[in-house]
Structure 1
Amino acid sequence: MIMKLVAATLDCADPMALADFYSRATGLPLAERSDGEFAGLRGAEGLFLGFQRVDGYRPPTWPGQDVPQQLHLDFDVDDLDEAVARLVEWGATVPDVQPRPDGWRVVLDPAGHPFCLTLPRRPGA
């Protein structure tokens, strides 16, 4: 192994609001916060998910490229419909464009970052 992913940080307008959304969605606890400028979650295995405030933040325009997505995250879920419904309750939105809704779903977090929900891959599949 050359590298091990230990952190990902997303730009946004409101770090605590986005940290709260991802904490609810992933179960990761709040590990760090600093005066409205930064917040972060840390998993038991050490992965850190950070959120930093950016002046003039503009959300990505997925699937268009006026404001590129720059990065997106993928999450395994047991039930696509149930996961989407819960995330929407917490402030996510679902774009009309869904390239493969039977296999995965694109969702936008409250700051507009696209991320994908996928069903776990089965060994040998």
Structure 2
Amino acid sequence: MADFYAALLGGTVTDRTAGQAKLDTADGPIPFRAAPGYKPSTWPSAEVPLHQHFDYVVEDPHAAAQQLIPLGASLAAHQNTDDPDLLVMLDPAGHPFCLIRSSAAGQY
């Protein structure tokens, strides 16, 4: 997870052990820890609720998605097909996040 978010946000993964890692970014550190028994969200169903949700502003959501898929991201099955400025993705652990076109970021 730390490697994936380093690619998405920039930064360097440090202090890596079997159960945790730290991502050092220009905006500060982001810690990652193993979560035994973790179950990915079933969003949009509430069966397993969201654990987190972040929106990332990018120039082109579809181009950004193509860069993230080889790193373990996937397109969420649930998309708003009427909105070309928003793309819902899943990180490698199944957390949903959105890629939002920078020119439309004020709408969200």
Sort the TM-score into its range (normalised by shorter chain).
0.7 to 0.9
Q: What CA distance in whole angstroms lies between the structure 1 residues aligned with 2:106 and 2:2?
A: 35
Any unmatched runs of 5+ in structure 1?
A: 1-17
1:26 aligned to 2:6? no
Please give the secondary structure, in 1, of the residue aligned with 2:88: strand
Match of 2:78 in 1: 97
Pairs aligned (count): 106
Q: What CA distance in whole angstroms lies between the structure 2 residues aligned with 1:123 and 1:83?
A: 15
Deviations 1:37-96 (A, max 9, x none): 1112122232x3222101111111121111111321111111111101111111111112
How many Å apart are 1:123 and its aligned residue?
9.6
Match of 1:39 in 2: 21
Change (3 A) 1:98 1:32: same
Q: Flag the structure with higher helix content.
A: 2
1:63 aligned to 2:44? yes
Any unmatched runs of 5+ in structure 2?
A: none
Matches within 5 A, 1:98-113: 98-99=79-80, 101-113=83-95
Q: TM-score, normalised by structure 2?
A: 0.84
Matches within 5 A, 1:79-98: 79-98=60-79
Q: Over the residues paired in the alignment, what is the CA RMSD in angstroms?
A: 2.2
> Could you list the runs of 4 or more consecutive aligned residues of structure 1 that deviate by over 6 angstroms after TM superposition?
122-125
